[in-house]
């Protein structure tokens, strides 16, 4: 199936045939130390874990036009695969299943997780063990795949809004067991990069949805196509160890300094204010001492 690499600055008319080895220019902003640079990539097959989830469903059509072959995995069945998608049903808490899933892939987009107000035992298998299994399976590959790790802004959700400057160097301050699992995943990615050379872009994703339903999420929203752009950047970078960026589109009064994403070439195309369910949200004032993680921070779990 033809695949474009529009976000890597190739003309829209340049298509890639399945399995073709190709070279493209990856042009960054002037602040990027890699600009300009030509390099080869063979990102022909990728694995998308958690493909049946909200984020996975939003990303699938965008990834399907960029990558010649995509393997989808999830606990839930997927029956609407496109011609270049295949689906394997299974549990990422099973290392043997994950090892079979990563076999032959060039990249992994690791979304699979329990998202929400869950206790430790509920997130232990999918979020902690499952993420370890992804990294361990990639470590054992002869040619290690590059990983895009779906972290979350809930890894820093216990900071008070406006309390301090928050960027990619900010140490985690999770707001929940879910946020804790994402902070763990970032640390795991860092260790596997340092110790085993597994390359990762960790994206602290904000809110993914077709519309922006409340004032807090107006400051954390990201469109599917902006998230797909960050994934593309993670796969395209000629050199990568472990980097952390925030998965946020253009938003008013952002909670996070996302200059590291800008340095790597990120140019968000969408704005949260254009997707508000109610324009009055622009005038809503948060409660005093409101926390970035919202209800995740105030819930008992």
Q: Catalytic residue numbers?
A: 178
Residues 6+ apart with CB under 8 A from 71: 45, 46, 47, 48, 85, 86, 87, 88, 101, 105
3-state secondary structure of 134: helix
Distance CA 178, CA 151 (A): 10
Phi and psi at residue 137, in whole multiples of 5°? -65, -40
Question: Prior bond to 36 cis, omega within 30?
Answer: yes
Half-sphere exposure of 114 (CA within 13 A, CB side): 21
Distance CA 278, CA 280 (A): 5
Instruction: Give the residue among 287, 142, 278, 126 at the shortest CA–CA distance from 213.
Output: 278
Phi and psi at residue 103, in whole multiples of 5°? -60, 120
Q: Residue 50 has which token pair?
A: 């958690």
């Amino acid at each position: 199936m033809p695949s474009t690499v529009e976000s890597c600055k190739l003309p829209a008319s340049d298509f890639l045939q399945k399995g073709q080895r190709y070279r493209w220019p990856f042009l960054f902003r002037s602040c990027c130390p890699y600009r300009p640079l030509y390099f080869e990539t063979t990102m022909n097959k990728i694995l998308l874990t958690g493909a049946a989830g909200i984020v996975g469903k939003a990303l699938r059509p965008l990834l399907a036009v960029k990558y010649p072959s995509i393997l989808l995995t999830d606990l839930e069945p997927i029956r609407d695969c496109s011609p270049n998608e295949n689906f394997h049903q299974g549990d990422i808490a099973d290392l043997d299943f994950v090892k079979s899933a990563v076999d032959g892939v060039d990249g992994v987009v690791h979304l699979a997780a329990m998202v929400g107000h869950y206790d430790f035992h509920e997130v232990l298998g999918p979020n902690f063990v499952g993420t370890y299994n992804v990294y361990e399976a990639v470590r054992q590959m002869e040619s290690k795949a590059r990983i895009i790790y779906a972290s979350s802004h809930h890894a820093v959700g216990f900071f008070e809004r406006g309390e301090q400057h928050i960027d990619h160097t900010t140490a985690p301050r999770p707001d929940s067991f879910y946020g804790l699992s994402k902070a763990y995943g970032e640390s795991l990615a860092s260790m596997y990069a340092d110790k085993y050379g597994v390359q990762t872009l960790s994206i602290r994703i904000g809110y993914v949805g077709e519309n922006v339903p409340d004032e807090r999420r107006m400051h954390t929203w990201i469109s599917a196509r902006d998230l797909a752009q960050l994934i593309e950047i993670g796969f395209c970078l000629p050199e990568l160890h472990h980097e952390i960026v925030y998965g946020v589109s253009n938003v008013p009064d952002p909670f996070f300094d996302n200059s590291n994403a800008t340095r790597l070439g990120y140019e968000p195309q969408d704005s949260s204010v254009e997707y508000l369910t109610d324009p009055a949200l622009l005038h809503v004032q948060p409660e005093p001492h409101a926390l970035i993680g919202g209800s995740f921070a105030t819930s008992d779990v």
